[in-house]
Amino acid sequence: MSNDRYELIDFGDGRKLESFAGHLVDRPCPAAMALTPHNPQRWNDADAYYDSQAKSWTHHQPWPSMLDVDCGTFRMPVRPTPFGHVGIFPEQFDNWRWLGSKLADPVDPQHALNLFGYTGASTMALVVAGYHVAHVDAAKPNVAATRHAALHNAIPDAPIRYLVDDAAKFAAREARRRRQYHTIVLDPPAYGHGPSGKAWRLERDLWPLLTDCLRLLDPGSFRLLITGHSPEVEAANVTDFLAGSGFLGRARDASGLLLESGRSQLKDKIGRSLDAGFYVRVQSRDQRPATHDARHANC
């Protein structure tokens, strides 16, 4: 594997050992809690270690100032945050590839909405594919990081609306304005708090948000991506909700429908799979890509 890519080296005992362009990072991973590391000695080579209880990093080697990862059609800067994240979620690579599929000769500009956009990897995939993107995240540093990612990819003037806003409130306002989007991306947290301090719970709050998103989709040409990490909500719950809303039936009658759902996986060096949450992808048939780039199994 090229040394500018991501690689899952090992996982177990509630942690994962990852290579970000050759920089080895040891971080907590709840999905690996009941699993056993394959190569315990390899963990001694970690360049950085995150302690979730102390909420602090230990750097055995300096973090490279220009560290980034090749994600196929774009690159993402990788930097440690106080919460143990590094600015990129590699389990989303297949979704970035799906989002980044170029359409066959679109007549009009294609508009996308990225809710809970984090540091902008999905936004980069969409912009490089030719979409105009509204990037929404309640955290100002995340929106600033998305601007930096656009600059890093030499697209500082990309058609991106950078919006520091509550995702649910923004979607509700857009629905009242009767706005329409061709692609909507949702990667909501399992729980958290909005800018006003209101608690967010995926099992309770996803459904009214998803209702607004269905109102925002262009009924003649659309894609919808929903991902999540919660034991309270599975892909089947989402597809059942879509079916119950009548959306799937209307879409199928209008233009035909392609639907995929399942669990995202990361594979380590010996082929073991690490669960990384659910995904649901829905698209009208006229949104099939002109080409399909399947170069990488991981970003």
Do 89 and 230 lie in one domain? The reply is yes
pLDDT of res. 13: 97
77 in a domain, yes or no? no
Do 96 and 237 lie in one domain? The reply is yes
258 in a domain, yes or no? yes
Do 135 and 193 lie in one domain? The reply is yes
Do 125 and 225 lie in one domain? The reply is yes
Judge residue 180's burial from the number of C-beta atoms within 10 Å of its C-beta, 0-12 exposed, 13-18 middle, 19 or more buried.
middle
Tens digits of pLDDT across the chain (299 residues): 458 999 999 999 999 999 999 999 999 999 999 999 999 999 999 999 999 999 999 999 999 999 999 999 999 999 999 999 999 999 999 999 999 987 666 667 899 999 999 999 999 999 999 999 999 999 999 999 999 999 999 999 999 999 999 999 999 999 999 999 999 999 999 988 777 778 889 999 999 999 999 999 998 889 999 999 998 999 999 999 998 987 766 665 555 688 999 999 999 999 999 999 999 999 987 665 544 433 333 44
CATH number at residue 36: 2.60.40.1180
Do 277 and 165 lie in one domain? The reply is yes
Pure H helices in the chain? 93-99, 121-128, 140-152, 167-176, 202-216, 235-245, 247-255
145 in a domain, yes or no? yes
Do 269 and 147 lie in one domain? The reply is yes
79 in a domain, yes or no? no
What is the count of structural domains for the chain?
2
Do 58 and 98 lie in one domain? The reply is no
DSSP structure class, residue 50: E
Task: Judge if pTM exceeds 0.85.
Answer: yes
Do 39 and 174 lie in one domain? The reply is no
pLDDT of res. 189: 92
226 in a domain, yes or no? yes
DSSP structure class, residue 101: P
Do 50 and 92 lie in one domain? The reply is no
Strand order in the sheet with 131-137: 160-164, 131-137, 110-115, 183-186, 223-228, 273-284, 257-267
282 in a domain, yes or no? yes
Do 26 and 140 lie in one domain? The reply is no
CATH number at residue 155: 3.40.50.150
216 in a domain, yes or no? yes
- Of 100, 26, 20, give the one whose Cα is nearest residue 68: 20
pLDDT of res. 289: 55
Do 12 and 99 lie in one domain? The reply is no
78 in a domain, yes or no? no
**Domain of residue 11, residue span:** 6-66
Cα separation, 226 vs 9, in Å, equals: 27
Do 138 and 252 lie in one domain? The reply is yes
